[in-house]
A = this chain, B = another copy of it.
Amino acid sequence: MEGREISKAVIGRLPRYYRYLGELLELGVERISSNELSMRMKVTASQIRQDLNNFGGFGQQGYGYNVKYLYTEIGKILGVDRQHNLIIIGAGNLGQAIANYANFEKRGFMIKGMFDINPRLIGLVVRGIEICGVDDLEQFIADNDVQMAALTIPKTKASEIADRLVHAGIKAIWNFAHVDLNVPEDVVVENVHLSESLMRLSYRVCSMQDQKKEQEDEGEELS
């Protein structure tokens, strides 16, 4: 795999392949053809072959893909074979939802700490993790070899905290705050902007309704 360039579009699809392959593994499926995988994933078989051929073409004619091998290889590319130490800044509902999601740990994302500014939350324990005040942030990051931070705080505080995280050596920010963060080039940010996602949904449902209405109007005109 070393030195191979995989396109951004393929990378974007890998987590979904990883999920389906993981489910197949759990079901005890050892190998699968591109056609079967195509039916499950609702992606064309040729797309699947193109995507998975990036990993050395280990789909064999008449044999199919070795599920475990493919799952492991994709996991390596996604970096889920390594341990990532993660902290959560913002211990409200969203932060707690993330802390409670045990599956993240199975994939190597170890939640080392949670932080908040709300004194009513500081000291509480969520799934074994005590919520700390943000004063201790920098020391905690250094002591616990933390590389990743989930930012589940309101947008007003997000930029300030992001600056502190970057100075403290954080290399990856999972940003739920509804603001674009300014970070140096060697820090990666993955945004989860829930209200933008909800607007995409409303756009799609509205265009569906409008289409239907137009069809009905045309129907009336014709009748």
List the interface of chain A (C-beta within 8 A of B): 11-12, 14-16, 18-19, 41-42, 77-80, 82, 84, 92-94, 96-98, 100-101, 103-104, 107-109, 147-148, 171-172, 174, 178, 180, 186, 188, 190, 192-206, 208-209, 212
**Assembly CA distance A204 to B186 (angstroms):** 10
When all copies of this chain in the complex are counted, the total is 2
* 30 A-B pairs in the complex with CB atoms less than 8 angstroms apart: A14-B199, A14-B203, A15-B196, A19-B193, A19-B196, A78-B199, A78-B202, A78-B203, A79-B202, A79-B205, A79-B206, A80-B199, A80-B202, A82-B202, A92-B100, A93-B94, A101-B194, A101-B195, A103-B195, A107-B195, A107-B198, A109-B198, A147-B205, A171-B205, A172-B202, A172-B205, A186-B212, A188-B201, A188-B205, A190-B204
Residues of B within 8 Å of A82, CB to CB, are 202, 206
**Assembly CA distance A78 to B204 (angstroms):** 8
In the complex, what residue of chain B is closest to A16 when comparing beta carbons? B196
**Assembly CA distance A208 to B190 (angstroms):** 14
**Assembly CA distance A79 to B92 (angstroms):** 29
**Assembly CA distance A202 to B202 (angstroms):** 30
What's the least CB distance linking A117 to chain B, in Å? Answer: 17
Residues of B within 8 Å of A201, CB to CB, are 148, 172, 174, 188, 190
